[in-house]
């Protein structure tokens, strides 16, 4: 009887532990790495296999590893299409003042431009503009939406 009671207690504790750990497990959407968006549903393409945008961490204009990979693909595409000029649009999420976000968007666009220039793309072919928080790709007020809006987008001019 004593053995049977101990077994029931052990099984109950084991079951409760499993149930609690399942409740505590965070389901990953696969869209956020830290606070940087990594999904594909908002990304468009300059050309096949060449994404048009990169994403940034909150209040940052530093390029991530993934951003540098995307910009290298853009540089390869631009080197093959020497008559093509682009504009790099800088964007921010909805938090912060208009002025702060315009400046942050400009720093983000310039970070992308500077990186493309290190791969041989002439600065004369690249213009930058900041839209700050004025052109969100996702209008929700959630961490995922904010991360999708913290971006720079490379747009063909001609």
**Which domains are assigned to the chain?**
31-156 (3.30.1330.60)
Reported as a single tens digit per residue, the pLDDT across 20-48 is: 554 444 444 558 788 899 888 899 999 99
Reported as a single tens digit per residue, the pLDDT across 100-114 is: 999 999 999 999 999
Cα–Cα distance, 74 to 79 (Å, whole number)? 9
Partners of 33 in the β-ladder = 36
- CB–CB of 144/32 below 8 Å? yes
- Stated pTM of the model: 0.80
pLDDT exceeds cutoff 90 at 18: no
How sure is the predictor about 14, in pLDDT bands with cuts at 50, 70 and 90? low
The C-alpha angle with vertex 51 and arms to 75 and 71, in degrees rounded to 5, equals: 30
Partners of 87 in the β-ladder = 127, 155
Instruction: Report pLDDT for 25.
Output: 43
Q: What is the three-class DSSP state of 81?
A: coil
């Amino acid at each position: 009887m004593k053995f049977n009671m101990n077994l029931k207690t052990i099984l109950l504790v084991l079951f409760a532990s499993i149930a609690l750990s399942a409740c505590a497990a965070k389901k990953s959407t696969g869209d956020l790495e830290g606070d940087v968006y990594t999904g594909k549903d908002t990304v468009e393409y300059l050309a096949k296999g060449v994404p048009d945008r990169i994403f940034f961490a909150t209040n940052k204009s530093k390029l991530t590893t993934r951003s540098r990979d995307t910009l290298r693909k853009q540089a390869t595409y631009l080197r093959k299409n020497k008559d093509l000029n682009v504009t790099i649009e800088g964007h921010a999420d909805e938090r912060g003042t208009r002025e702060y976000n315009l400046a942050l968007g400009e720093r983000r666009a310039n970070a992308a431009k500077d990186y493309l220039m290190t791969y041989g793309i002439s600065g004369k072919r690249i213009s930058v503009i900041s839209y700050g928080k004025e052109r969100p790709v996702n209008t929700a007020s959630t961490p995922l939406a904010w991360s999708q809006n913290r971006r720079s987008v490379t747009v063909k001019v001609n």
